[in-house]
Amino acid sequence: MHELSIATAIIERADEMARADGTDSVAAVTVRVGELAGVVPDALGFAFEVARDGTALAGARLHVEQVPAQAWCGPCAEEFAVGMPPFFWCPRCDRPSTELRSGRELEITAIEPAPAPA
């Protein structure tokens, strides 16, 4: 299950970012996942819950923002959804395009530190 290795990488990176920010407890992490990144959000969420134990993210929630895959057609300056499975064909001029604008993202966009204990 490759989501587990991705979740582990996200947790390690978020843990580093949180510590660099001077916090060792994280409430939530937001990641952007492109439609073509090859990650199943539900599986990632499950893997996150397994992998977070014993880290600064032990109590953290995972928010997944899904990014639709969009390709660009230069000749008609048109951005179009490639869908899933991806189909790189401009719907306006009926020609192939392989210029992917978005859809391969796999990145942390936000970390929410846990509130200090009262």
Binding site feature residues for Ni(2+): 2
Smallest distance, Zn ion to C-beta of residue 88, A: 11
Q: Which residue in 90, 102, 103, 105 binds Zn ion (CB under 5 A)? A: 90
The number of helices, as runs of H, and strands, as runs of E, in the chain is 2, 6
Binding mask 5-24 for Zn ion (x = CB under 5 A): --------------------
State the Cα–Cα distance between residues 30 and 87, nearest whole angstrom: 28
Binding status of residue 110 toward Zn ion by CB under 5 A: no
Between residues 84 and 93, which has the closer beta carbon with respect to Zn ion?
Answer: 93
Q: Which residue in 92, 99, 101, 109 binds Zn ion (CB under 5 A)? A: 92
Binding status of residue 101 toward Zn ion by CB under 5 A: no
Between residues 56 and 71, which has the closer beta carbon with respect to Zn ion?
Answer: 71
What Rg, from alpha-carbon coordinates, does the chain have? Answer: 18
Binding status of residue 56 toward Zn ion by CB under 5 A: no
H or E stretch covering 50: helix 41-51
106 within 8 A of 73, measured Cβ to Cβ: no
Within 8 A by CB and 6+ apart from 72, the residues are: 78, 79, 97, 99, 100, 101
Quote the tokens at residue 43: 């599986």
Binding status of residue 58 toward Zn ion by CB under 5 A: no
Binding status of residue 76 toward Zn ion by CB under 5 A: yes
